[in-house]
Amino acid sequence: MTQHGARNDLSDINDTPPSGRDVASDVPPRPGESGSQATEDGSPGAGSGAPDGEEAPRRWWPPKWMTDAGDRVALLIWFASHVGFLIYMYLAGPGRTTDPFLNRLTRWDAENFIAIADYGYDGPPGMQDSGKLPAFFPGMALLIKLLRPYISDARLATVLISLVSSAVLAVALSRLAESYRPGTGRYAVAALFLSPFAAFLYTGYSEALFLALAIPAWLLARKGRWEDAALCATFAASVRISGAFLAFGILVMFLIAKNGLREPGGLRRAPWLLLPGVPLVLYSAYQWSRTGDWLAYNTVQAQYWGRHPVWPWEALVNTWNRAGEVPTLTVSYYEEIIAAAVLLLLVIALAVFRRWPELAYIAPQALSFLALSEFYMSIGRASLTWFPLWIAIAIAGERRRWVWYLALGIMIPVMAINVGHFTTGAWIG
């Protein structure tokens, strides 16, 4: 484990624990606790009363998230943040919108997921812009479709998916942050759920579902459980294109980690890391069967959202000009510019500190947003998926409390404004 206080704030980002070793085993027991450690599922480990030479029986109930203090704090943050979101959504409504409750939570992309779930990629009859639907990966829509026999209201199903997924990601992010530096789990979870664009975690969008798969995949990879990590990453790749970047980051981790390729038998595990590419290939093949275009995803992105190669400075200038031309979106475009700056700084920091797996995950996103789009769009929303950023903030905040309070002082007001905008019908990213 890292030596606290001896290195820079990002220096804990790539300390992969040895294979088969629970990170918690490196954490000294708290006063009043015995020196024995619990296994990953929360059952007692060695020294828990089992006879010498015999393994203690595994307990599957209660699950770890019910007994582990860190998991309970993460879920408390999840619950409290959702309550705060609902309160502010209610307060922001009068005079700005009369939309029903569920409609405020399922705007724009959520409507597209529901359309795909109900009618497929041809869209409902009369949908004028149904040609844009291939831009949305099928994972979220398939889950909505699976829930329809049990939840008749698709909008409710969409919101419930995000609700449950956000609880899973809260626990997973807490555990992941703890694997980098003990004591940072609660900071990372709070940073994410209070971040400027956190509104998308509470609504019918796919970010929460993606993170509920991507963060466990990363944590499993750090523990050397490559097959399990590959399976989680495969499901994540069915939800968002970011799953491809996640798979690349895990591959780089596998190549350089002591518990990866260099471990005895590591080469036999390597084919598993190709598994996340399967959903991408199958989705491309499916869209080809419909449209005759293997790159239908890219074609639609370029046609409807201006996703095509440009010089980075052109994208910046175009975004700045749009901020002045469309008054209702001025704040949104300024937020996109700031998010782009944060993304660039994150890439530089990861490169300077040689955090290669995290860089492999983040850098392709920077290339996509800053040089493969006519103007900045959805960078702020994508920031939710930059879990190295939230862990870095957590590490810095845990070491230097003023950094934590400064981060909260900046993020919470912006988050509140964006919640009010989104739930009353204004675009925020």
What is the chain's mean pLDDT, rounded?
A: 89
165 pLDDT higher than 70: yes
State how far the Cα of 21 lies from the Cα of 259, in Å rounded to an integer: 10
Domain ranges of the chain: 66-423
pLDDT at 48: 37
The per-residue pLDDT for range 369-384, each reduced to its tens digit, is 999 999 999 999 999 9
The per-residue pLDDT for range 318-367, each reduced to its tens digit, is 999 999 998 889 999 999 999 999 999 999 999 999 999 999 999 999 99
Indicate the pTM of the whole model: 0.87
State how far the Cα of 413 lies from the Cα of 415, in Å rounded to an integer: 5
Split at pLDDT 50, 70, 90, the class of 32 is very low
The per-residue pLDDT for range 205-259, each reduced to its tens digit, is 999 999 999 999 999 999 999 999 999 999 999 999 999 999 999 999 999 999 9
Nearest to 50 by CA among 40, 58, 62: 58
40 pLDDT higher than 60: no
Of residues 418 and 58, more confidence is placed in 418
